[in-house]
Structure 1
């Protein structure tokens, strides 16, 4: 156990995990200073950009033998979600390492450990005197946990990003609970919808026609029947990314219990599967509105564009190299559609192939959960895996 406490690799991770870069109102200063010290110890150049105030993007660059070739991007985010400290066995920002090798900390799975795995793989290769063919950029970005609009989104739209000449990127997935690594090659499209129903107002004791309540009921029934049909397609939670999810999240309206309202509304969180025609989906909702009656309409809180998934067939040279490296290690890979959203969507939006992969197996899935933790043995194995994957993709 003393080896764990004295291990520089583990202690660098613990130092990063102790920085409380937690929402809301994240202060990224200590993260930036930490990575400046890491870049100095690696003798690598570092750039810090702010495309929005107090939203730094950190880039550590390892130049390759053929720097004109499209580069590799290893991306992670610095921010973490809030904690309910009373429910934790150990303080979530103390990075407590127990005698049996478990490291408790917010961000230990999502995703500070992955960012450090990226950096430790570079460190190990560089210390061994290896020089890869392609340049490798290790990026640390803000605000992924609140959508990334002022982080990766602005970064990918910048000239600074274009000048990096990225050819392929890796980002986060989630730890695997067994021996098979989980990878995501695409995401569903997030769309948040508000349906508004107008109707005849009046006294609550009467049975008027054309009421807002009747129309609201019709619309909710349509959405929930669609939801049930999609739910029946599921055999496991991991397949959620392959179906369209619909969840009712808000109902609004009414002025008094005995008054028929002039207007009622209902809101849904919708994630559209990649194989669904998004225009046809919109037309389906519009047809429901037409069927419900006069004065029924829908609008979007959020209408994200459809983003093409990353190709994973035999013509995808970077993915093929990644997969081959895992095959040589005897590691299985399950490539799916991500059930949530990550910063990789902004990279894919620029036409750059990106794979989400967290190289840790046999780990309980505790992303955003109480007592988030990883085992140091799985972390070390993750560095081994990343070292070999990075060597393969950067030498394509």
Structure 2
């Protein structure tokens, strides 16, 4: 017989909170009912002023001492689109095969974690447990679009401030080996549009000083830098992806017709920068590369994160000690890394809150945003055990 927690997980997967038209209403109704089942306080905070229902669902399990800083368990409800013809089954049917592998968009990123929080709390409440600190669960929209209209807005509101957060847990990645991975920081995502202006003219002539020539020079410089970083990453046994600067050309724009040399072209890059890099210096390097490419070459930020805050992993830090004490109960080895992508945790760290990215999945290939995303039933249930061990340690951290 299927565990009740797995049934709830599959039900959550079937709610199509997929962009560009996520069913947030369906997710909110599902979560409201969940909170009622568990006897958790539940309220909503709307973070948008337009017709899109960007609503934060907040659940609260009260502790004995509301004056103490609380614990935040954050997760996002939205998921990325799928290439339906590349999936072996319906990406929103939550099909479970004979091996116990559950297929569906969001199985790893990150509907599993939201349900694991709730089912660990169900188990703890059933045992009559209560802790010193309040535990808040937040289910936020728009993370997959960068979080700018979801968590980034919410974390600046009075409603969030009133939660009196001491530390937070958010998403991580699966570990393909037999360990868990905790993420204490993130790279800064810079989405940049480089613009090149040059002489236009007829496509039959040798036009000098064209936008294309200068843009190609800049692109070559950026891709050469990319190759240097790639080599350093591959040659270092201690370097994880989160420790490297990645540079990827994602879009080229411009031109009016096949026979017109354009007066302007642009190239868009996704650059991810680790917290060890001086961001001011790096931006200065980008400026120099533009100047070297030629007059009329410039850049603008589409998205720019300039936070290099990391969460302490010092053995004497009370929050980190409590988290790792919980992991020790599981007898599972823990590794630590800088997260290679970007999550809502970056907004928390930027505001000074300790935040640990943690998705308790091991022996699992990383399939977030990939075709045939899946999570095995056994690994999912083990994740509930992980939070069952960790939450009491965090929620009973003495005042400090």
Report the TM-score, using the length of structure 1 for normalisation: 0.93
The aligned counterpart of 1:337 is 338
Post-superposition offset of 1:99: 3.3
Q: Secondary structure at the match of 2:11?
A: helix
The aligned counterpart of 1:120 is 119
**1:294 and 1:181, CA in 2 relative to 1: closer, same or farther beyond 3 A?**
same
Post-superposition offset of 1:50: 1.0
**1:262 and 1:94, CA in 2 relative to 1: closer, same or farther beyond 3 A?**
closer
Q: Secondary structure at the match of 2:240?
A: helix
Matched, 1:24 2:20: yes
Post-superposition offset of 1:357: 0.4
Matched, 1:50 2:59: no
**1:30 and 1:266, CA in 2 relative to 1: closer, same or farther beyond 3 A?**
closer
Supply the distance in 2 between the matched residues of 1:88 and 1:263 (Cα, whole angstroms).
Answer: 40
1:116-265 correspondence to structure 2 within 5 Å: 116-202=115-201, 209-235=208-234, 239-255=240-256, 259-265=260-266
Q: Secondary structure at the match of 1:46?
A: strand
- Long gaps (5+) in structure 2: none
Q: Secondary structure at the match of 2:131?
A: coil
Supply the distance in 1 between the matched residues of 2:371 and 2:208 (Cα, whole angstroms).
Answer: 50
Kept in 1, the 8 Å contact 2:247–2:271? The answer is: yes
Deviations 1:37-59 (Å, cap 9, x if unpaired)?
21111112111121214111111
Kept in 2, the 8 Å contact 1:219–1:288? The answer is: yes
The aligned counterpart of 2:36 is 40
Q: Secondary structure at the match of 2:232?
A: coil
Query: Which moved further from structure 2: 260-269 or 141-150?
Result: 260-269
Kept in 2, the 8 Å contact 1:27–1:54? The answer is: no
The aligned counterpart of 1:8 is 4
Post-superposition offset of 1:334: 1.5
Supply the distance in 2 between the matched residues of 1:291 and 1:348 (Cα, whole angstroms).
Answer: 36
- Long gaps (5+) in structure 1: none
The aligned counterpart of 1:104 is 103
Matched, 1:89 2:91: no
Q: Secondary structure at the match of 2:22?
A: coil
Q: Secondary structure at the match of 1:137?
A: strand
Post-superposition offset of 1:86: 3.3
Number of matched pairs: 392
Report the TM-score, using the length of structure 2 for normalisation: 0.92
Query: Which moved further from structure 2: 178-187 or 249-258?
Result: 249-258
The aligned counterpart of 1:309 is 310
Deviations 1:140-161 (Å, cap 9, x if unpaired)?
1111111122211111011000
Supply the distance in 1 between the matched residues of 2:88 and 2:261 (Cα, whole angstroms).
Answer: 51
Post-superposition offset of 1:305: 2.5
Kept in 2, the 8 Å contact 1:239–1:336? The answer is: yes
The aligned counterpart of 1:289 is 290
Q: Secondary structure at the match of 1:232?
A: helix
Post-superposition offset of 1:207: 5.1
Query: Which moved further from structure 2: 384-393 or 81-90?
Result: 81-90
